[in-house]
Structure 1
Amino acid sequence: MSGFEAFGGAASNPSGDVVERLAVSGHPGVELSTVVLPVAFGAAGERLRAVVDEVQPDVVIALGLAEGRSGITPERVAINLDDARVPDNDGAQPTDERIELHGPDGRFTTLPVKAIVDALQRADLPASVSLSAGTYVCNHVFYVLQRLSEQRKLQRRPMRSGFVHVPATPELAEGRIGMPSLSLDELERGIRIIIDTVVATPVDKRIRGGAIH
C-alpha cells in the first residue's frame, strides 16, 4: 500500500498518514507492506516500481489526496497525461506530456471498485466511483502502477492494483469554508474496509456506479 508525503505547503497528507498508521498496526490476515511516495512525477513512479519489484505483492492499493471531494473515491481509469497546474515537490511542472510515449491512452484499475464503494456506503462512509484521477502525480502513479500490473500478468505473476483518493481531514480543511472532510480515524476505517473487500472480492460486483457528467 502506498500514500504520499505532504505537498503544496501543507503540514500533512492524509494518504501518507493513513499508510503510516497501517505500517505500525498492520491488518488482520494480511501481510502488509507500505511506502510513502514523494509528490514528484519522476521520483514517485520510480520509487513505486522499486518497491513492487522488491516486495512482489499480490495486490497494490495506492492512496492519494483529493481536497474538495466529500468521500472516499476509488479510481476507475488512469490516463496517459501529465499536466500540472502547480509544480510538484521537485519543482517539475509538465504540461500536456504523455507519461508513456507509446502507451495506451488509458489503463483501468483491476480492483473491485464498485464492491469497494458498496462496502464503504454500507459502513456509513461517503464513497463513490471516480472516473478521473486528474493529471497530477496521483494519476501519474496510477498509470505507472497499472503498467506494472500488465507486466506482472505477462510474467504469469498476476497483481491486482488500483488507486483510491481520500478527502481532506478536518485539520487540512480548517479555515477553508465549505471544504468537506473525514477524520483520520474514519479514513483508516475506510481503508481497512477496502483491504478486506479487495481480499474477499476477486471479481467486481455488477452494480450501477457510473456518472452522467
Structure 2
Amino acid sequence: MPNNKSKPRPSRMSVYLYIPNIIGYIRILLNCYAFAICFSSKRLFAALYFLSFVCDAVDGWCARKFNQASTVGAVLDMVTDRISTACLLVILSQVYRPSLVFLSLLALDIASHWLQMYSSFLVGKASHKDVKDSSNWLFKLYYGNRMFMGYCCVACEVLYIALFLISSKHTENLMDVVVTTLKQGSPLSLLVAISLLGCSIKQVINIIQMKTAADACVLYDTEKKQKR
C-alpha cells in the first residue's frame, strides 16, 4: 500500500538552527570582535577575519552535506560577506590615499551583487549564480568553476588583509606601498602579486556582473511593456 504521508515540514526554529546557519552566526560574532580590535591588534584581527572567511566555505559545504540549504542561510551568507568586506574597505580608505580607490571598490561590490541578486529573482532564477544564459565567457567561468571563483574571492580578501597589515601609519600612499612591497622580492611580495591579479580579475567580473544584471532588468521592463 503506497505511503501517502507527506514529509514533515521543518519548523521555523529548526531552519534557524541549521548547521550552516549556526556557522553564519559564528561568522558574525567573529567579524564583530575582529573589527572591534582591528587597530589595537592587527594580527589577531587578520586571523579572525580570515577565519570568518574560511567559515564561508565551510557553511556551504555543510549545506550540501547535510541537505540544509535555506533561503535565510543564503541571504545571511551574502549579507555577512558584503558587510565584512565593506567594513574592511572603509578601514583601508582611512589608512591609504587616495581613499576613493577603496570606496569605489566598495560601491562596485555592493552594486554588482545587489543588481545580480535582484535581476536573478526578477526573472525567476533559483540562484544568482545561474548565469548559463550569459554570453560572457569570463562571467560564466567565474560562476561555473568553483576553483576560479575561490581564487578570485580569496585573492581579494588576502590582498585587503595584507594591505592593512603592512600599513605602518595613516594616510599612506597606496601606490607607493604596493610598489615598494612588490620590489622587495619576498614571499609577501609574491603573495601580494598573486592576490592583486585575482582581485583585479574579480573587479572586472563585478563590472560585467553589474552590466549583465542591468541589461536583464531593462529586458524585463521591455518585455513587460510589450505584453500590455
Shorter-chain-normalised TM-score: which range?
A: under 0.3
Bigger radius of gyration:
2
More strand by share: 1
Higher relative contact order (CA 8 A, sep 6+): 1
Normalising by structure 1, we get a TM-score of 0.25
Normalising by structure 2, we get a TM-score of 0.24
